Amino acid sequence: MHVKKVKVVTDALNANATIARANRADFDRAGVTVVNLMSAPGSGKTSLLERVLIGLEDVSVGVLEGDVQGSFDADRLARLHVPVTQINTDSGFGGECHLDANMVRSAIPSLPLDDIDLLIIENVGNLVCPAEFRVGEDVRVMVASVTEGEEKPLKYPLMFRTCDLILINKIDLLPHLDFDLDLFLRNLDTVHPGVPHMLASARTGEGVNEWRDWLKHLPSHAAALR
């Protein structure tokens, strides 16, 4: 009996890459720089976004919010008077635990690309699948919380390896945890040597100005990373 092997995963990723290039072309034509913001659930990426968007008045920002269900995070960000578009993956996308290029493409007609300079895509909270799927972004930023453990870069290397900036959040909790920050940074350097990182606290605002400045200069960062 002859058994034919079907490379389903490879074909899916190749198809995704084709759509991601189309997304990127649309973003480039509109002059919009795109950040894919990723993390595990509960790392605080929405809270960091709330902090950083205040003070970015000289940059026109839009947010594409990805969740399986609900609009809890989108509602929070919309109160900051920035345009927010919601994608729920349970609505026609099988309840996926990540955003892919096709999902983002379906949202492009709803995005105010002509009115913004920067689009932040807040991906579904997950340390596995979002790392696999490019969506047409210029850069990837990951939020890692000190409550998650020092071993996370070693357990989920692809996520850390594919990001251009790591935000280490909730550092205000360090006095109350056994988290070894130096060990985390060594593990991070093992899987992605030299990747830039910033220490931050959405609760106290520590490190937010540094990330805000990074976002303000993002077009030059993105060009250097291409």
pLDDT for residue 7 is more than 70: no
Residue 140 lies in a domain: yes
The upper half-sphere exposure of residue 177, i.e. CA atoms within 13 Å in the direction of its Cβ, equals 14
The CATH number linked to 44 is 3.40.50.300
What average pLDDT does the segment 187-206 reach? 98
Residue 2 lies in a domain: no
DSSP-derived secondary structure for 153-174: HHHSHHHHHT-SEEEEE-GGGG
Burial class (CB in 10 A: 0-12, 13-18, 19+), 97: middle
Residue 3 lies in a domain: no
Residue 202 lies in a domain: yes
Would you place residue 93 in the very low, low, confident or very high pLDDT band (cuts 50, 70, 90)?
A: confident
Q: Tokens for 180? A: 């070894």
Q: Which domain range does residue 145 map to? A: 8-225
What average pLDDT does the segment 87-116 reach? 92
Residue 25 lies in a domain: yes
pLDDT for residue 8 is more than 60: no
What average pLDDT does the segment 27-49 reach? 97
Give the total number of structural domains in the chain: 1
Q: Are 142 and 160 in contact (CB under 8 A)?
A: yes
Residue 82 lies in a domain: yes
Using DSSP's 3-state secondary structure scheme, residue 65 falls into strand
Residue 47 pLDDT: 97
| Portion of the chain with pLDDT greater than 90, in percent | 85
What is the pTM (predicted TM-score) of this model? Answer: 0.91
User: How many residues are recorded in the chain?
Assistant: 226
